[in-house]
A and B are shown apart, each in its own frame.
Chain A
Amino acid sequence: MTAIFLLIGFSLLLAGGFLFAFFWAVKDGQYEDDFTPAVRILYDKSERNDSTQQGNP
């Protein structure tokens, strides 16, 4: 059943790759803010307009 070890190997490497990506995401501060990203995607207008609406220059 060499195929099992092949597949476990590939699966572990994939999982390891994703684990690495997860650590990167955490260290990069991707998940520091879990509120703004969800709201931000709702606004497609340019940031200039958004900030104007908020009363900023």
Chain B
Amino acid sequence: MSTKTITNPQVTSPPGQTRNIETFYYDNQIVRAFFIATAIWGMAGFLVGLIVALQMVIPTLTEGISFLSYGRLRPLHTNAAIFAFVGNGIFMGVYYSLPRLLKTPMWNRSFSWVHFWGWQLIILSALISLPLGYTTGKEYAELEWPIDILITLVWVVFGVNMFMTILKRRERHLYVAIWFYIATWVTVAVLHIVNSLEMPVSFMKSYSVYAGVQDALVQWWYGHNAVAFFLTTPYLGLMYYFIPKAAGRPVYSYRLSIIHFWALIFIYIWAGPHHLLYTSLPDWAQSLGMVFSLMLIAPSWGGMLNGLFTLRGAWDKVRNEPELKFLVVAVTAYGMATLEGPLLSIKSVNAITHFTDWTIGHVHVGTLGWNGFMTFGIFYWLVPRLWRTKLWSKPLANAHFWVGTLGIIFYCVPLYIAGWTQAMMWKDFDEGGFLVYKTFLETVVQILPMYWMRALGGTLYITGAVLMVINLIKTTRHGSFLGAERAEAFALAKVYKKEHNEYWHRWIERRPIQLLLLATVLILIGGIAEFVPTFMVESNVPKIAAVQPYSPLELQGRDIYIREGCYTCHSQMIRPFRSETERYGPYSKSGEFVYDHPFQWGSKRTGPDLAREGTLKLKKSNYWHFQHFMDPRTMEAQSIMPAYSWLLTNRLDVNSTPAKIRVMQRLGVPYAEGYDEVAIEDLTKQAKEIADDIRKELTQMKADPSMVVEDSEVIALIAYLQRLGVDATEGEISSSQ
């Protein structure tokens, strides 16, 4: 075929210049790979979610199996849902839409495949390491340092591939979806690196370089922006591509989409502190987070309305096309979650909802509704196109839609009720000024029926997803997959503007992407070099003289606390409300946490707060804890805490102690010089004291004292729990006398 030269009338090229039409091929194979990965990991993530939901009501479900315990599976569930399901969903959508929007194939096929297999390798290492208890103890950033490095590398591969594709584009205009992809890449890169700064102790064990309140702030700056820039902005990009495509009409207002994008990304980054309202974080930072969170309503709803209005005059299609039904509910869920989020960020609302199941309900409107249904909608639209056929069964897809929607309702509504009920019970005082519900457990037992309903909701949601998998497999069987899709477009004409004569200004203007990348790298290097040493030497958090570093045994116990994911159910943060100080003791101060690498404040109270567990009226005997870990229901008949029987027999890795002490010293924890050499001695001594104490009590009760193993992990964990709150509380009492 001879190349015929055609002048494109729409593009203003210099007079006399003509442009050739070029033929190229879109790579559908990488899209298919990401699609399959999204579907498989999605199902896995949902299933683990259902298991942890059932563990809340049947605490003995996986009794005695350490790697299937709630505290280890819950991080697996969140990581699978966010990074495996939504992550692969993002890449599926980007690898399909970006080339088509830019009229060019992805820049480098090998990069695409390195990205794909690299990401699956990350997920696989999470799947293995999290149940085995390798965790940093920071929510949604639990993966240990070697995996963090792998994530960074794979992310860079993705970025290079994406930005090179943008540079090689045949369409000068960057459609709004692409802006969302760019913002996602840049911000996630910065967030991941800043929050994952940790000092390795050994392979698969590290301590966060930040401590206490600083660690909390960095973590939630990351945590909230992970929601913003991993679960939201990329999916908004997908919304702006796939809804117009599925509806067959342009987005309602392109101008609004541009305003939506810029307003959203400028506001989102400041909202993180709303996760730390009423904690020891400085008050002005809390207010900053709250104000920006409230401002977010405007751009979020702008985006939601833009998505829904795109369907104006096309609602008949919504009736007929299952994919549009999913997309409509997804956008609606986005609207609900982004109204609810700012409301939950108001301090007086947060005082009620924080630490309750309301938060869990809120995030699942986002993940099940927005991310899940958006992904399903895209699946139903994309798969028939990739396989060049029709969807196997529309009725089945409609069934999925209704079952899934019911699933979301049955999931979220009971949790709203549970959250509200429990918060009211926590705060209930009688006429004499005493707590009405004195034991925490009473408030848990009250909401167990809601937990059952939630498990039902999850089951419905998974049932719907199974219907979808069947439908999509059948669809692919009937079609024929097109690996390389032929396309044609004009080459991009070089446009030279002659406005300025300043050479550098023009040079900068013409290289926005290189500069954006360069700036990011510079920001990171500069920032790390400038700030990190200040953390290690001295932090200006007000210190409390009585607060001393953990003993070696307590430090080891703390690592077991982190490993078992205790923070997924227990907070260590008493807020300054009478209902909390009455129940747990004096409210938490930032100076108490200066040696906590990482912080363990938690974000949800399925069990009571533990910040003062070792002191005042909460203090229990060593024996009580021992028995409670062996079988919580022997101490509290209705408890829903799982048993941790393996801690009684697992031997503590005593030999790791000197290395841990040395790393802590490097992070600025004031252990005496050379303490690492005598640490094991101190550890053994303290362990013997605790073990003897438990044995004594067992003997008195005519039980067998030989089941207490001196160097078992449970002894270290008990030592840690008995230390919680002791320094600050007892220091405060002695200084006030």
Contact = CB atoms under 8 A, between A and B. Distances in A.
Interface stretch (B180-188, B441-449, B454-462, B564-572): B180-188
Q: How large is the interface on B (under 10, 10 to 19, 20 to 34, 35 or more residues)?
A: 35 or more
B674 to A, nearest CB: 28
B9 A18 contact: no
Interface string A14-40: 110111111011011011011111111
Contacts of A51: 6, 8-9
Contact of A7 (B217, B248, B257): B217
A18 B255 contact: no
B254 A13 contact: no
Given A2-B540, A10-B523, A10-B527, A18 B183 contact: yes
B190 interface: yes
B515 A20 contact: yes
A7 B257 CA distance: 28
A51 B10 CA distance: 10
Contacts of B175: 37, 41
Contact of B523 (A13, A30, A35, A41): A13
Contacts of B171: 40
Contacts of A14: 186-187, 190, 269, 523
Interface of A is mostly: helix
Interface string B250-264: 110011011000100
Contacts of B575: none
Interface in B349-397: none
B489 A46 contact: yes
A38 B101 CA distance: 11
B124 interface: no
B684 interface: no
Contact of A41 (B101, B210, B519, B520): B101
Nearest to B488: A46
Interface in B525-541: 527, 531, 534-535, 539-541
Contacts of A20: 512, 515-516, 519
Given A10-B523, A20-B516, A41-B175, A15 B251 contact: no
Interface in B479-517: 487-490, 509, 512, 515-516
B516 A9 contact: no
Contacts of B215: 3
A3 B540 CA distance: 10
B119 interface: no
B509 A27 contact: yes
B214 interface: yes
Given A4-B217, A44-B487, 19 more contacts: A1-B282, A2-B534, A3-B213, A3-B539, A6-B194, A9-B527, A17-B520, A18-B262, A18-B266, A20-B512, A28-B512, A31-B255, A33-B173, A34-B255, A37-B175, A38-B244, A38-B250, A46-B489, A48-B6
5 contacts: A2-B539, A7-B272, A14-B186, A40-B171, A47-B8
